[in-house]
Amino acid sequence: MALTKEEIEEIRAYLDKSERPIYFFDDDPDGLCSFLLFYRANGRGKGVIVKSSPEVKEEYAAKVNEYDSDMVFVLDKPLLSPDFVENCNKPIVWLDHHAPAGIPGVKYYNPRLNDIRDSRPTSFWCYKIIEEDLWMAMVGMIGDWFIDERLAEKFSEEYPDLLPKKLSDPAEILFNTKLGELSRIFSFALKGRTSEVMKCIKILTRIKSPYEILNQESPAGNFIYKRYFSVKDEYDSLINDILKKHSKDNPIVYLYPSKKMSFTGELSNELLYRFPDRINIIGREKNGYVKCSLRSSRGNLPEQIKKALVGLDGYGGGHENACGLCVREREFDTFLERLKKETGIRN
């Protein structure tokens, strides 16, 4: 057991008690759905998406005071700045499933503290805590490339057309089912300008069923679906370009300018699904740095990245098969050569 029964009850009690919760969450389906689950269970509060950095930085503390919040929830973010804690005089509940990184002054919950191999997503735990809106929890979990057999079975019974029974491979589900498509719809709702993103999130807090979106059964669902298609155009042009130019490579390396939307995580996932035995690195160039997503099914990716980064100006980490990386542009080639050695790729 990862989060204990006591921990689950504690978090539930904090959520029930709060009258003006503020939520800081990661900008992917797992983070978004974690927020939506808590927001919908509590019925009040404000959501703040934390983009472009794995850390909730100091400047976000001002939002807590601005909103006059009574309780802070940090969801699915790997890092929290000690200066944020310093400048925020409200209780902070931090729930995450990345490498443990708790700091003083915070009520920190992470399944890995009890079992380092337990990387079940944040939305899984949010569902365990509130036990409502299973469909949204499923959207979040599959976005993190994860499926829980028991919950999947329950979900399939209610929505056999979204997730056929007996499917258990997350990649297959992500790219070949309606549930997977929903996860991409949620993911694409987070792309683009912050004002548009916040509008989509607000609409998602009110959606009652997955069919509202998939079959455009309401104006709200229709809005989210339309938005998905306009973002998808941009995504498709990138994936098609990669497939045209790099479908024979290993590793697959593709860098594109940062003035386009960030799809590195989504592109990486699709490439891992299409080419499961290859490594892929998809990045955007910005201010002299390259920010990348890496996927690989060859062993321990965080360890390999750490070794390849020794002495270089950069950082990276994440999960065993899925990582983020930021490295100085002129050192990218060095990093790449080392990573090939670490992972046993020969040219």
**Of 27, 30, 212, 270, which lies in the binding site for Mn ion, with binding defined by CB under 5 A?**
30
Least distance in angstroms from the C-beta of 340 to Mn ion: 28
Q: How many residues bind Mn ion (CB under 5 A)?
A: 4
Provide the minimum distance between the beta carbon of 140 and Mn ion in the complex, in angstroms, as a whole number.
Answer: 8
Closest CB to Mn ion among residues 11, 242 = 11
Dist CA 8 CA 258 (whole Å): 40
**HSE-CB for 163 with a 13 A CA cutoff:** 31
Give the nearer residue to Mn ion in terms of CB position, either 76 or 133. Answer: 76
CB of 285 to Mn ion, least distance (A): 25
> Which of residues 7 and 144 has its CB atom nearest to Mn ion in the complex?
144
Axis-axis angle for helices 29-42, 194-204 (nearest 10): 50
Nearer to Mn ion, 121 or 221 (CB): 121
Report in angstroms how near the CB of residue 197 gets to Mn ion at its nearest: 18
| Distance of alpha carbon 292 from alpha carbon 325, whole angstroms | 5
- 115 vs 157, beta carbon nearer Mn ion: 115
Applying the rule CB under 5 A, the residues between 129 and 188 that interact with Mn ion are 144
Which residues on adjacent β-strands are paired with residue 281? 253, 294
Per the CB < 8 A criterion, the answer to whether 146 and 170 are in contact is: yes
Q: Using CB under 5 A as the criterion, what x/- string covers residues 56-95 for binding Mn ion?
A: --------------------x-------------------
Tell me which stretch binds Mn ion (CB under 5 A): 8-16, 114-122, 181-189, 245-253. Answer: 114-122
Q: How far is the CB of 304 from Mn ion (least distance, A)?
A: 21
How far is the C-alpha of 121 from the C-alpha of 144, rounded, in Å?
7
27 binds Mn ion (CB under 5 A): no
Phi, psi (5° rounding) for residue 162?
A: -90, -35
Element (H, E) at 336: helix 332-343
42 or 122, CB closer to Mn ion?
122
Q: Of 53-61, 121-129, 167-175, 278-286, which part binds Mn ion (CB under 5 A)?
A: 121-129
Taking only Cα atoms into account, the Rg of the chain, rounded to an integer number of angstroms, comes to 20
SS3 for 132-192, per residue?
CCHHHHHHHHHHCCCCCHHHHHHHHHHCCCCCCCCCCCHHHHHHHCHHHHHHHHHHHCCCC
- CB of 125: closest distance to Mn ion in angstroms? 10
Please identify which residue in the block is written with the tokens 């992972």.
Answer: 343
Closest-approach residue to Mn ion (CB): 30
Q: Nearest 5°: CA angle at 256, between 252 and 262?
A: 100
Which residue number, 34 or 69, has a Cβ lying nearer to Mn ion? 34
**At its nearest, how many Å lie between Mn ion and the CB of residue 116?**
16
Span between the terminal Cα atoms of the chain, in Å: 44
> Which of 47/121 has CB closer to Mn ion?
121
- Positions that interact with Mn ion (CB under 5 A): 30, 76, 121, 144
